[in-house]
Every structure is written in structure tokens, then in C-alpha cells.
A = this chain, B = another copy of it.
């Protein structure tokens, strides 16, 4: 079955856009991955079928309110990972 969560590319895009501005104790690939997963878990999924989904996703790029909501969720996820990093650099 061919579906995908239209929020994934939108959150990935915003995370990549702001990643250099974000302050965290560790900015390794796993910490970035954890921020991405935690942010997606706090955003209502919007699964669409792969055929007509791409157009749907593009339309969302122009939705300022959605973009703001995503950036807020990323900031919250960043805070959680900064407080409890799970990557190898912080495992004792």
C-alpha cells in the first residue's frame, strides 16, 4: 500500500532550514533524528496516497500557520533532546 505522511517532508524541510540556528549540547545525526521523530510524534499526521500526495504537500508549503506550528513543535522537540540526549556521546 502506497501512503506517506505529508507532514514528514514539511518537518524535514523546516528542521534542515533551522538546524544551524538551533543550540543543543550535541548536534550529531542521531540527535537530529530524535528531534525529527519527537516533532513528528507531536504533529497530527496527514497521510495521503502517494499518487496525489505530492501536490497536497506542495500546497501546504504556503500555509504560514502550518509552518509556524511546525517550527514550534521542532523547538519543543529540540528542548527534550537537549535535556535528555540519547546518542552515544552521552551514554555512560
Residues of A that sit less than 8 Å from B by CB: 1-3, 5, 8, 12, 15, 29-30, 32-34, 36-38, 40-41, 43-49, 51
Contact = CB atoms under 8 A, between A and B. Distances in A.
Nearest to A50: B33
Contacts of A8: 3
- The DSSP consensus for interface residues of chain A is helix
A44 B15 CA distance: 21
A33 B52 CA distance: 12
Nearest to A36: B1
A46 B42 CA distance: 9
Contact of A40 (B29, B40, B45, B51): B45
Contacts of A2: 33
Contacts of A33: 1-3, 49
A5 B44 CA distance: 12
